[in-house]
A and B are shown apart, each in its own frame.
Chain A
Amino acid sequence: MAEFAYEPEPAGGVVLAPGESAREIAGKSPWRLAGRRLLRNRVALAAAGLFVLIVVVSFGAPLYAEHIAHTDPFANNLNGTTVVDGKKVEVLQQGGGPLKLGETPIGPTWQSNYFLGADNQGRDVMARVLYGGRASLLIGVGSAVLACLAALLLALVAGFFRGPVDMVLSRLMDLIWAFPIFLLAISLATVLLTAPDGLQWGPVHVDPSSLWVPTLIIALVYVPYVYRPVRGQVLSVREKEYVEAAISQGASNVRLMFGEILPNVVTTVIVMLPLMIATTILTESALSFLSIGVQPPKASWGTIIDDGQDLLYSRPWVAIAPGIMIVLTVLSLNVLGDGVRDALDPRAKLRIKG
């Protein structure tokens, strides 16, 4: 799986982007400059547009299912029928030949009902792909945001206090980092999914089939990936003159961390966020494909690919459609991430590792 490495430019003065003159940026705040650079980047804007489109259609899944496909994408329809070109046909069709073995789901009708055909339980694939997008995006965005927030907070604490606090937190992150991501995620998921009564943290109860389970697992395994570069930034910023000045004026630790250091390292997290989302969506899909992410009858792109795996020979669209959605989403987020990086931090190095 692709991983990314982000090497931020040490925080400091305003940097010119390629093709940008000093006059153009004079008197503009860094955020305004970044917005302006992003708006000029047509490729990044197109990627953002694509991502927004995917989000909109995914979150419009209930409307599609109810008003266009007229189906419940989570209920099986094994004995169901549908109308194609005015003819009533069975959703699951008995195999041909003299033996009539097997039941094959209906293929793409390219009509409002069963646009992409049915899966092996007679459910509308198109409606499930859209619903699956909702789950994948929620988990992807949720876990990426959680990972970034947790990493940012821990990095602030570790980088600011240094010493034993830094040592403990950094070794903890090293410990998590030392596990292969999928091994750790699979282990956690297996334990959490088999807990007979779910998870109970004080008054908070998480059912094993809840979307929170994959969200929290994925967030946890990616915290170190964000923590490390941000901690480096915090250590660097903490030595800046303006921080020294604030200390000399008696600013509290909280004020120093959140008022002086945080605004100067948050861009690192913002640059990483789109790429984190892309990565977490891929991770969620992989876990769900292995049946340890989103639990059926809920759908995510990974679970639909899993369902489609057994139909690759006769009904390839069941697996191809969510695959295309994953590719488009990850591609758009990667390109958007590049654009955000160029806008916020033009000299930073960011690369995808195969």
Chain B
Amino acid sequence: MTRDADILIVGGGLNGATLALALAQAGMTVTLIDAQPAGVQSRDDFDGRGYALALSSQRLLKAIGLWGGLAEHSQPILEIKVTDGRAGEGPSPFVLEFDHAEIEEGPMGYMLEDRFLRQALQARLPETPGLTVLPGETVTDHEVTDAGVSVTLASGKRLSAKLLVGCDGASSPTGARAGIKRTGWGYGQTALVCAVAHEHPHHGIAHQFFMPPGPLAILPLTGNRSSIVWTETEAEAQRIQAMDDAGYLEELRPRFGDFLGEISLAGARFTYPLFLSVADRFAAPRLALVGDAAHRVHPIAGQGLNAGLKDVAALAQVVVEARRRGEDFGRIDVLERYQRWRRFDTATLAVATDGFNRLFSNDNPLLRLARDLGLGAVNAMPGLRRSFIREAAGLTGDLPRLLQGRAI
């Protein structure tokens, strides 16, 4: 029986490309099917987001040999300040502060702009032995048999493998074709995303202001720049996005405050609608779902990419270990190990971020008082605060080896 690859990955985004690299480096043959035509992902304006990479995610990038080229573009997050506020009123006196000095692992994470990570992945893919990229191709159908899986591409080409992995986003056509149902809802909120330059240095401090329409995050980038993730109701976000740059800044200034001095836009502006969507199963015979295809969560805690990279690390380890003991790594009993490893964690994250958002995106005075007291209380208890820091840094739970910075 001839196969085109051990593993077919559908979707060449950050998770799909990282998984392809991790598997190929461990000796598997991988074909990455990317709907984007060649070169599109490497454009500077492809995606405007910045990611708060947890320490565990940074260790994964280090373990697969990408961090060396990314370090100079990354900004260590030394402190996180969480504040409750209303536009024009400034922050409430109850502030929750997380300082990296309280844990021994170093910075709590790193801010990295999408374009640097995406370009580093795109550059590494073609030079990795065992890895083939098919750009500008989409899957129209797939068929699972006892011994393998075959897919049909829009170009008419057919490919076969032992395992098919869907890294094809929150609507995952791969999961849908396998009959995997999803649970989720919209938040009626849209994130406005941009980078701003500011007068004063940010000292590596990330700020999260909880405003009634939704959270505003100010995340430190390299130099005197910060990434803004500014959540508003859908209608309000549309109104603001439609404004010219001057009008946009006029809206942002009272929310942002003046603690970093004068601000200006430092790049293009983007919007991302917010919704929760979790697949009922992350695995089926010969098929696994990774990243947003498995679970798209509210980005309130910046855990979307970090959760995706946890999937990548867990699936790569499960599959590579199975292969090394001679198992048929596409069998459901192997893939269920991945599902067991990731599902509990993901359900916790989905519930926690959803609950956080409902609690904080609200102007009810009683809830405001409750969360202000809550923030103050957490801040007053060093043990609890340390455990939040370790959770945000991705250092809790049964960690796959790649997330510890080790090879599989």
Chains A and B are bound partners: no
Q: Which residues of B come within 8 Å of A, CB atoms? A: none
Q: Which residues of A come within 8 Å of B, CB atoms? A: none
